[in-house]
Structure 1
Amino acid sequence: MPASAPPPSELPPPVPVPCTECRRIKDAFHAATRAGNRTAAQGWIVAMGRHQRWMH
């Protein structure tokens, strides 16, 4: 007998779609870090904090 799908209560929650703004900020932070630009990297950390607070 084929296995049936588990009831909805047993399914894990769906994975959220990645936020494009989060991805942009993370990419810019990593680029600044690789370039050794600590000032810009710190600015991107601040930008991510503000974005997280306002949008998520």
Structure 2
Amino acid sequence: MEKYKYNESNGLWYELQGNYYLPCLKLPEEEQVHIGIWGQRHLNYLRENKRVLL
């Protein structure tokens, strides 16, 4: 069986994983955003006190 297949109807490549063909998808690169001093303090509060929410 072929490792990769191209489907012309939807324009996606598929990769063989076990017995199934799964689509080869990539997420776009995200820009890193500066959250500021208050965002950092809120993040530290969540890390220290509300680990379930984080």
TM-score by length of 2: 0.29
Q: Which has the higher contact order (CA 8 A, sep 6+)?
A: 1
Structure with the higher fraction of residues in helix conformation: 1
Higher CA-based Rg: 2
TM-score by length of 1: 0.28
Structure with the higher fraction of residues in strand conformation: 2
